[in-house]
Amino acid sequence: MTQLEKLRLPLVVAGLLVFSNLLIVVSSYRVGVGRADCTGPPVEIGFMGYAEFSQRGHGIHLRQFSRAFIFEDELGERVVFVSADAGMMGHAVKRDVIDLLQKKYGDLYRFENVVLSGTHSHSVPSGFLMSFLYDIASLGFVPQNFNALVEGITLSIVRAHESMQEGRVYVSETEVFDANINRSPSAYENNPKEERMLYKDYTDKKLVQLKLVDSQGNPLGAINWFAVHPTSMNKTNCFLSSDNVGYASILLEQEMNPDSLPGQGKFVGAMAASNLGDVSPNVMGPKCEKTGLPCDLLTSSCPSGTGSCTASGPGKDMFESTKLIAKRIHNAASKLLRSKKTREIRGPIAYAHKFIDMTTAVVPYYNRTTQRKEEVHGCYPAMGYSFAAGTTDGPGAFDFRQAMLTDTTFWNTARDLIAVPTTDDIACHAPKPILVASGRTTFSYETQPKIVPVQILLLSDFAIAAVPAEFTTMSGRRLRKTIEGASLVADGKKVQVVIAGLSNMYTSYVATPEEYAIQRYEGASTLYGPHTLTIYLYHFKKLMKALVNRRRVEEGPSPPFEDYKQITLSTGVVYDGHPFRMYFGDVQDQPKETYMRGDTVQASFVAGNPRNNLMHEKTYFTVEKLVGDDQWKVIATDASWETKFKWIRKSTLFAYSDIEFEWETGPETAEGIYRIQHFGYWRYILGGTYPYNGTTRNFSIL
């Protein structure tokens, strides 16, 4: 402990730090923003989210980006928040990011002052979590995707570090309507009526924005927290996509960085995950697939022969729905950026972090039924029957339904072939019937985590609660209320709390005990039993009190290091071939000579496998406009909304591949002469990868 730390007294009041003989006013910040490409392998790899084995990437619609924000007070305390276009965040990803940062900056960045949050898009590659159940859709661990995330996230933080400057931070909020609904209303309604009456809606409509500006007041970046599942792109989609919140981020950045391509420009705008557990963007609600009639409210099931219970909307297809939801979120964030109704954050920065073994955690609990205090404990991880039923955003398979409270001999027999739950497990998880006893498996590495992180970043009176799971609407409301209450008790000052979902590690869902009792998908996916939320509330309350009182927090047990145990069944690229008398980059199908605005331009190329090079900070395709006698300007890339490319394996034996490229023109597309370029790498059968490119003929837009 330094001499200055020894002098510090446990008092924080209205932005003042008090020392024994010294008074320091903490009134301003240094801030930095950074963004980097973190796109994973766009083809041949399973997507994370729906756990649908048939949903394997075959191209790109929207690239993945990592967006980093650094805050530092006048005393040198520094915190980092990162929102990445990833399904969620993995502990090993954060560990390796911290390792890379410490090699460059020493111990400036550590587990306790860095939060990595995933947006939760269901259309991005999996295979990076190092937990057997979560990586199963990609047939195990995928080093290429893991490395893409680690390197991209690290680069975004490095860029934020290098852009540090004097600045100010403001917070504001608004409401976004017609962008989310509760997909498990029957579970939500099992929460106490007096608690539900405190809130207008079954989902949180509030969007909270943290705006960073430079010393002249020019916007540098913004973090927006809004609760919605990025599941506008459904499980039939095979284009890599950051979904609704990813596109909302791009819209905000392109608005603030005029004439910049996606992923470029000074302003960095993130749409970060919050308590989205039971929140769907499919606002037209669930209906039976073949009849269009409403599904059963409790079980989300349909009569035999009428198809699955699936939610959709607000558009005519998943692409239009993604765009509409994204625009609604973007419009709200854009208005806040220009609003005068903001509150400046001025005060010291602090942070707290702790690991908890959920299988041994014992915490106090007030039982509303008995009106008595008792002790409750966590359970070994397990998934319930309704987990296999899926959700109305992506229904499951077989005869599983949501809200299943009884088991069957058939599925129990199948379950026991993998792992047998103990009598204590069954009692601990009740009323959940256990379908996957993930905590009892004997694979070489963990099926699901047992040790989880909890973390708070505190910017004066603004608290970011980083949770390693998908908290439901009411779980998030209880967590915010608990942290607010802890600050009042300890300091007499109420903090404003946002929940940063899917941060630092992934552990499925967290439903309230009342929602858990209904056993819809969210309750069945609550890993550590009915009092999972109770344990989190207890430890976040302790974290907040420790922060206010400037007490050190014990780090707790570390998650196991299991890198060397990972199973990888996804094969790499062996070699690429090309048809006789053709070469990589040659145009198979040329665009037409002339198009009208609103037409879709199409072309195809002889291609190598896109996994040969992920083209970070680059692009597989450019759409270029002739702006002079011989000057071409790039007006769209493979990260642009209006473009898509699809990779097609033509021959497995000879490794022939094509890439089909589409560019949707619109009413704002300028008249002129255009061309399309394709960039890639091909792999030689004896080793090595080599670059190539191809260019279409010129064509006109009229």
Within 215-242, residue ranges assigned H as helices are none
Give the dihedral sign, CA 450/457/94/149.
positive
DSSP 191: S
Q: What distance in Å separates the CA atoms of residue 223 and residue 485, rounded to the nearest whole number?
A: 25
How much is the CA Rg of the chain, to the nearest whole Å? 25
Place of tokens 């284009």: 239
Residue 344's closest CA among 75, 29, 23, 69? 29
DSSP at 592: P
Separation CA 280–CA 182 (nearest Å): 6
CA atoms of 481 and 486, how far apart (whole Å): 9
Task: From residue 19, give the alpha-carbon distance in Å to each of 78, 348, 350, 355, 612.
Answer: 20, 13, 16, 31, 57
**Identified catalytic residue from 163, 280, 301, 508:** 280
- Buried/exposed 575-599: b ≥16 CB within 10 Å, e otherwise: ebbbeeeeebbbbbeebeeebeeeb
HSE-CB of 372 using CA atoms within 13 angstroms: 4
Q: Is the bond preceding 431 in cis, omega lying within 30 degrees of 0? A: yes
SS (H, E, C) 594-643: EECCCCEEEEEEECCCHHHCCCCCCCCEEEEEECCCCCEEEEEECCCCCE
Spell out the residues 6+ positions from residue 314 whose beta carbon is closer than 8 angstroms to its own.
Answer: 178, 283, 284, 321, 324, 325
Q: Examine residue 262 and say whether the peptide bond preceding it is cis (omega within 30 degrees of 0).
A: no
Express the helix, strand and coil content of the chain in percent, nearest 5 each: 25, 30, 45
Ordered strands of the 451-459 beta sheet: 349-357, 451-459, 462-466, 496-500
Cα 408 to Cα 638: distance, rounded to the nearest angstrom: 48
Name residue, tokens 């008249």: 671
The whole-angstrom separation of Cα 118 and Cα 89 is 5
> b/e for 283-313, b at 16 or more Cβ within 10 A?
beebbbeeeeeebbeebbbbeeebebbbbbb
- Rounded CA-CA distance 487/547 in Å is 9
For 274, the 3-state DSSP assignment is coil
- Sign, CA dihedral 112-33-180-61, equals negative
The question of whether 280 is a catalytic residue gets the answer yes
Structure tokens at 359: 């299988």
Buried b (16+ CB within 10 A) or exposed e, 48-71: bbbbbeebbbbbbbbbbbbbbbbb
Calculate the CA dihedral of residues 198, 204, 207, 210 and round it to 10 degrees: 70
Are 523 and 516 in contact by the 8 Å Cβ rule? The answer is yes
- Which residue(s) pair with 466 in the sheet? 455, 500
> What is the residue-wise DSSP string for 451-481?
EEEEEEEEETTEEEEE-SSEE-HHHHHHHHH
In the numeric block, the tokens 């069945």 are attached to: 524
Active-site residue numbers?
Answer: 280
